[in-house]
């Protein structure tokens, strides 16, 4: 029997997650059953369970993928354009979030998942870990700015990273509740709030 390639497994996993996003957006997390997910993905229960033991695992996978994309984008922007301002980095992140929302309803799913994390200890713990990882990524970016630009050393990089997370979460919430038009100017506003700082050199 031929071995299943990593590319096939990745494609099948993404197919299931895309189906889950559509179902969650249409019916909500609680009203969507595993049978609904099988139907949406047009796969057997065994095919889905091979990748995800249950609905919680699908929610966590979606959240992890989304946070990983944001963290990767922030890392890419800061590595390829190390002199960019915090505002530019945040603007790039919210632009990614907006584009992802148009493709997959990221904002609505995110709000549903946050709500679930308040009453589901497993999801709450996983979300806390993911947010801590993202905060550490952002703190590293800010720390580099503090060492190489005129960005003040106080408050701490960790505290400033918490503010940046607040901006990203607030952007998601507004996307979910108010729509894309309400946040169309957010990238420009972030660049205005955090313009480039003069080099210390």
Residue 72 domain flag = yes
Q: Could you tell me if 75 and 19 lie in one domain?
A: no
Looking at the structure, tell me whether residues 112 and 79 fall in a common domain.
yes
Domain membership flag for residue 43: yes
Question: How far from the centroid of its chain's Cα atoms is residue 93's Cα?
Answer: 9
Least confident of 29-43, 147-161, 169-183: 147-161
The CA distance from 60 to 67, in Å, is: 11
Give tens-digit pLDDT for 89-122.
889 889 988 998 998 888 998 888 888 888 889 9
CA–CA dist 129, 107 (Å, integer): 20
25-70 per-position pLDDT tens digit: 999 888 999 999 999 999 999 999 999 999 999 989 988 888 888 7
Q: Which of 5-9, 11-15, 59-63, 143-147 has the highest mean pLDDT?
A: 11-15
Q: Are residues 28 and 120 in the same domain?
A: no
Compute the average pLDDT of residues 169-192: 94
Is the predicted pLDDT of residue 142 greater than 80, yes or no? yes
Do 66 and 41 fall into the same domain? no
**Model confidence band, residue 200 (pLDDT cutoffs 50, 70, 90):** very low
Domain range for 96 is 56-193
Same domain? For 66 and 8 the reply is no
Say if residue 58 is exposed, middle or buried (CB neighbours under 10 Å; 0-12, 13-18, 19+). Answer: buried
User: What's the pLDDT at 180?
Assistant: 94
User: Does the pLDDT value for residue 199 go beyond 60?
Assistant: no
Looking at the fold, whether 44 and 102 belong to one and the same domain comes out as no
165-183 mean pLDDT: 93
3-class SS letters over the chain: CCCCCHHHHHHHHHHHHHHHHHHHHHHCCCCCCHHHHHHHHCCCHHHHHCCCCCHHHHHHHHHHHHHHHHHHHHHHHHHHCCCCCHHHHHHHHHHHHHHHHHHHCHHHHHHHHHHHHHHCHHHHHHHHHHHHHHHHHHHHHHHHHHHHECCCCCCCHHHHHHHHHHHHHHHHHHHHHHCHHHHCCHHHHHHHHCCCCCECC
> Which CATH number does the domain housing residue 185 bear?
1.10.357.10
Q: Is 200 contained in some domain? A: no
What is the distance between the alpha carbons of residues 175 and 172, in angstroms, rounded to a whole number? Answer: 5
- The answer to whether residue 164 sits within a structural domain is yes
- Determine the pLDDT at residue 52: 96
């Amino acid at each position: 029997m031929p071995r299943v390639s990593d590319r096939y497994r990745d494609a099948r996993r993404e197919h299931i997650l895309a189906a889950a996003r559509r179902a969650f957006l249409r019916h909500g997390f609680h009203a969507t059953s595993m049978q609904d997910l099988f139907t949406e993905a047009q796969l057997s229960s065994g095919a889905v369970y091979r990748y995800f033991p249950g609905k919680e695992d699908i929610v966590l996978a979606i959240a992890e993928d989304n946070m990983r994309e944001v963290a990767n984008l922030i890392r890419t922007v800061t590595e390829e354009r190390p002199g960019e301002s915090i505002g530019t980095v945040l603007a790039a992140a919210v632009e990614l979030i907006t584009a992802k929302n148009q493709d997959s309803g990221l904002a609505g799913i995110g709000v549903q998942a946050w709500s679930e994390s308040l009453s589901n200890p497993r999801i709450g713990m996983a979300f806390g870990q993911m947010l801590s990882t993202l905060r550490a990524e952002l703190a590293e970016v800010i720390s580099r700015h503090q060492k190489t630009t005129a960005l003040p050393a106080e408050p701490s990089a960790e505290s400033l990273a918490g503010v940046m997370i607040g901006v990203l979460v607030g952007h998601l919430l507004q996307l979910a509740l108010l729509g894309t038009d309400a946040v169309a100017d957010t990238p420009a506003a972030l660049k205005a709030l955090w313009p480039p700082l003069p080099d210390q050199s």
